[in-house]
Amino acid sequence: MASTPKFLIFFNVIFLASLSSSDMYYPENVWELSSPESQNVDSEKVNKLINLSFNDQSTLGVVIIKNGKIIGERYADGYDSSSHGTSWSMAKSYYAALIGISIEKGEIGSLDDKVGKYLNYYNDERSEITIRDLLDMSSGLDFPAHEHEKMFFQSNHLDYAKSVGVEKNAGLKWEYNNVNSMIIGDILHSVTGVKADKLLSKRIFEPIGMKDFKLWKDEYGNVLTYCCVDMSAQEYSKFGLLFARNGQWNGKQIIPKAFIDETFKVVWGFTPESPRRGYSLHWWISKHDDESKIFNTSGKFGQYTFVDRENDVVFTRITKYAQNNDGDIQKWGPLKYFRWAGVSTAVMTARTLLDLGIIKEGTDVVTPITEEIGESKEFYQDYEKIIDAMADLSRD
């Protein structure tokens, strides 16, 4: 067979890339539903992924996106497409994206700038820590067994984060430290003069049509940039699609592609977490081989948005969440006396007092709460099967 001239190959590549870009679908107020087969995906593979997810009774909802369209979706009894879940640490990936935007705007020089350039209080023993170190979870900051989850029970989360000193040299070891992410929020405030929740809404959520969400703050108005964005599985999927599409949305570059390319690299290929995953710039890496490269946002108790950028696939799964308060400013009320008792004790005490009606959520206490019914078990146990089922969506 005669070979195709090189200029024709080049023309075909450019033509197909242009066609793909112009035909790319983005959801607006309502997502377009599509059969899996019309997106070249086997329905049985979609059903397998959904069924695996719902083997865990904590699952609130699952959304599977291919080519920007919903090809699979299911919700637990009593929930629907408008039901909110809380992100927990998925929020880290959201606020990290603002760093990429600030670099593009010239507000931040680079990922390798020292944090002390923007926060004077880091010009001490922490002076060698860079923004990249914070985002890669390799800052070397003091790392207790509770990963600074005690910060969640404080009235002033930022004061807590500012007080954390160093334990080791930066860049040497991966340690999942919530303080890193809280400091990122203060950097953003320092360089823009705007708090991170307002930045997230204006610079990312509004441009991609995200409207129904809650961004949590502490009692002093500090944005919880290490956790706590509330919204639906469909809305979480929009953020995933934005990363799957290299930061573009309807022809507009929302997040710089260079930052997303940097995010979707393997920095820490193996972390001591369970399930075993890699890490890069506040994103996790679930699979990275010749077959597929799946990155994900991840939150406590089993909140995930998985992104397969090469195959334009997004898969979100969130767990059951109590939505019985209207506030977005954390308030601990009488539970503040348990904040130094330890994370497990504080959580158990809070749940017990709420269950007994001794304190009322939304009145005495205002905070994101995942009750025991929303804690994942089987999803973690089946994690490798679930990742393989997602990868299988794109196999012939």
Strand 214-215 to 84-86 pairing: unpaired
Domain 36-331+366-392 has CATH 3.40.50.970: no
**Which of 8-12, 60-64, 77-81, 220-224 has the least mean pLDDT?**
8-12
Query: Any idea which of 6-15, 40-49, 332-341 has the lowest mean pLDDT?
Result: 6-15
pLDDT at 4 over 50: no
Query: Which position has the higher pLDDT, 147 or 64?
Result: 64
| DSSP H helical ranges for 59-119 | 90-104
Average pLDDT of the residues in 216-222: 97
> In this predicted structure, what is the pLDDT of residue 341?
67
* Mean pLDDT to the nearest integer, 134-141: 98
**Average pLDDT value over all residues in the chain:** 91
Which pLDDT score, from 0 to 100, does residue 340 have? 65
Say if residue 6's pLDDT is above 50. Answer: no
Q: Where are the alpha helices (DSSP H) in 156-263?
A: 157-162, 178-192, 196-200, 233-244, 257-263
Name residue 203's amino acid: R
In a 3-state reduction of DSSP, which class is residue 289? coil
The whole-number average pLDDT for the span 257-266 is 97
pLDDT for 333 equals: 81
Instruction: Look at residue 160 and tell me whether its pLDDT is greater than 60.
Output: yes
Q: pLDDT at position 199, please?
A: 98
Q: Residue 2: which pLDDT band, with cuts at 50, 70 and 90?
A: very low
* Element of type H or E holding 296: strand 293-299
Tens digit of each residue's pLDDT (9 = 90 or more) over 9-29: 344 334 334 444 447 999 988
C-alpha torsion sign, points 335, 341, 343, 349: negative
Strands (E), 40-88: 59-66, 69-75, 84-86
Give pLDDT, residue 354: 75
pLDDT at 322 over 90: no
For residue 9, the model assigns a pLDDT of 36
Helix axes 43-54, 383-392, angle to 10 degrees: 160
Q: Could you give the C-alpha distances from 35 to 64, 65, 86, 189, 287, in angstroms and in order?
A: 11, 11, 29, 44, 26
pLDDT of residue 324: 60
pLDDT at 165: 98
**pLDDT of 1 higher than 70:** no
Please tell me the predicted confidence (pLDDT) of residue 384: 96
Lowest average pLDDT, out of 91-105, 123-137, 146-160, 231-245, goes to 146-160
State the pLDDT at residue 335.
74
pLDDT at 259: 98
Determine the pLDDT at residue 7.
43
Across 2-16, 226-240, 325-339, the highest mean pLDDT is recorded for 226-240
